Amino acid sequence: MDNKVYIVQCPNYDEIEEKLTSLVNLMGGMGKFAKNGEKIVLKANLLREARPEQAVCTHPSVIAAVGGLARKEGAVPLIADSPGGGYRYTAKTLDKIYRTSGMLGAAEKAGIEVNRDTTSRPVSYADGMLTKHFDIITPVFEADAVFNLCKMKTHLFTVMTGAVKNIFGVIPGLSKTGYHAKLHDTTRFAGMLLDLAQYISPRLNIMDAVLAMEGDGPGSGDPRQVGLLLGSEDPLALDVVAGEIMGIDRTQNPIIMEAERRALEPNRIEEIEVIGANLADVKVPDFKRSQVSAGSLGLESMPWYQRILEPLAKNAFTVRPRVIWDRCIACETCIEGCPVEAVSLVKERAFIDDDKCIRCYCCHELCPEEAIGLFSSWLYQLLKPA
């Protein structure tokens, strides 16, 4: 795999075309990634219906700028993603998200199509170490290449979401919940993500870190101006560098740790050549991390924890999702998105059954009203990493 990560400073989205072109030129120019007549999927992060300033989705100007460069090479770009697991993967859902995220307007202006085909195809990946079969959205199946256009965000379950995690969006709608149900510890979930990233093998990875998300991401964290664009041919390398910028200890990042266990390189910053801006100059030391789960306390991967302690001490060692009743509008997105049917409607408000809940935080990620709060015990507060 390629071990180079490129960084360009981009203080705001008004300068995106110029800065994005600089980044791609630094990487060898768009001609290296897109050829005349090729169908290219621009895999955005379209997690849920949110405005660009909420920093939930990849900014539409980034997608349009990449698509514009690909078009100049004669390629045919198509914007596609399957939103978070609580949303049915329908043309109506996609249209709402395209419109609110600003993607539709940006696409029309740049002459790029948005995907409305909501079919999917089963695929096999014999080399998958954990997962050998996936269902993936049809435009990705049919594309000559995927450009992975992710957002820099914290993530309650996987600690951060960057290039590797963004690829999970090729799994259609509610099918995503099945992966959370089957793989509810972060180590195994990270393993599935690495298998999927290797199968999809995006030709180009670009991270929108102009306006990132800190705190309890990826759906309800706080926007944070970082002013960067990052690029790499390797999604893992990109995440290693992004994690450094966000100040996330690699040992607390389940994707990086699983990559290390699998001897996938590069998984350490020392193995990566950073080109462009100086990494030390662009780190954000006070970047607010998300509250973290047992996985990040180093407990979850231990068999004795899973077998003996987890059922007894789940509430003590993890952050619990809680419905904020006066914000809940009973839209049922969290009910659809919960992989283990732990959420139900009680008196026209969502209610979470703590015993059933596996702490995947999909409900927090998907709630359009930010009506799922997080609660942690005093023991968790004592043990959590600094």
Residues contacting 269, CB < 8 A, separation 6+: 240, 241, 244, 250, 279
Shortest Cβ distance from residue 273 to ligand SF4 (Å)? 39
Q: Does 319 bind ligand SF4 (CB under 6 A)?
A: no
Q: Which long-range contacts (CB under 8 A, 24 or more apart) does 325-332 make?
A: 325/349, 325/371, 327/369, 327/370, 327/371, 328/369, 328/371, 329/369, 329/371, 331/368, 331/369
Query: Which single residue is written with the structure tokens 């780190």?
Result: 283
Q: Does 329 bind ligand SF4 (CB under 6 A)?
A: yes
* Distance (Å, whole) CA 334 – CA 367: 6
DSSP state of 246: H
* Distance (Å, whole) CA 196 – CA 338: 22
On whether the CB atoms of residues 25 and 70 are closer than 8 A, the answer is no
Choice from 330, 344, 351, 384 touching ligand SF4 (CB under 6 A)? 330
Choice from 129, 340, 374, 383 touching ligand SF4 (CB under 6 A)? 340
| SS3 category, 134 | strand
Q: Does 359 bind ligand SF4 (CB under 6 A)?
A: yes
- Classify each residue of 308-335 as buried b or exposed e, where b means 16 or more C-beta atoms within 10 Å of its C-beta: eebeeebbebbbbbbbeeeebeeeebbb
Token reading at 41? 């999927």
Residue ranges with strand state E in 202-290:
204-214, 222-232, 273-276
Question: Phi and psi of 179, rounded to 5°?
Answer: -70, -40
Q: Does 183 bind ligand SF4 (CB under 6 A)?
A: no
Choice from 323, 326, 376, 382 touching ligand SF4 (CB under 6 A)? 323
Shortest Cβ distance from residue 366 to ligand SF4 (Å)? 6
Choice from 331, 344, 374, 383 touching ligand SF4 (CB under 6 A)? 331
> For the chain, how far is it from start to end, CA to CA, in angstroms?
33
Contacts with ligand SF4 in 7-46 (CB under 6 A)?
Answer: none
| SS3 category, 348 | coil
On whether the CB atoms of residues 337 and 87 are closer than 8 A, the answer is yes
Bridge partner list, 124? 133
Choice from 297, 369, 373, 384 touching ligand SF4 (CB under 6 A)? 369
Q: Does 219 bind ligand SF4 (CB under 6 A)?
A: no
Q: Does 297 bind ligand SF4 (CB under 6 A)?
A: no
Q: How many residues bind ligand SF4 (CB under 6 A)?
A: 28
Token reading at 309? 């302690």
Shortest Cβ distance from residue 353 to ligand SF4 (Å)? 8
Shortest Cβ distance from residue 343 to ligand SF4 (Å)? 5
Choice from 332, 348, 355, 385 touching ligand SF4 (CB under 6 A)? 332
Shortest Cβ distance from residue 344 to ligand SF4 (Å)? 10
Q: Which is nearer to ligand SF4, 100 or 115 (CB)?
A: 100
Choice from 55, 282, 350, 380 touching ligand SF4 (CB under 6 A)? 350
Bridge partner list, 146? 41
Shortest Cβ distance from residue 329 to ligand SF4 (Å)? 5
Q: Contact region for ligand SF4 (CB under 6 A) — 51-59, 95-103, 168-176, 335-343?
A: 335-343
Q: Contact region for ligand SF4 (CB under 6 A) — 238-246, 279-287, 295-303, 334-342?
A: 334-342
Q: Which is nearer to ligand SF4, 115 or 220 (CB)?
A: 220
Residue 218's closest CA among 381, 82, 367? Answer: 367
Q: Does 189 bind ligand SF4 (CB under 6 A)?
A: no
Choice from 140, 152, 357, 380 touching ligand SF4 (CB under 6 A)? 357
The residues of the shown chain that bind ligand SF4, judged by CB under 6 A, are 321, 323, 328-334, 337-340, 342-343, 350, 352, 357-363, 367, 369, 371-372
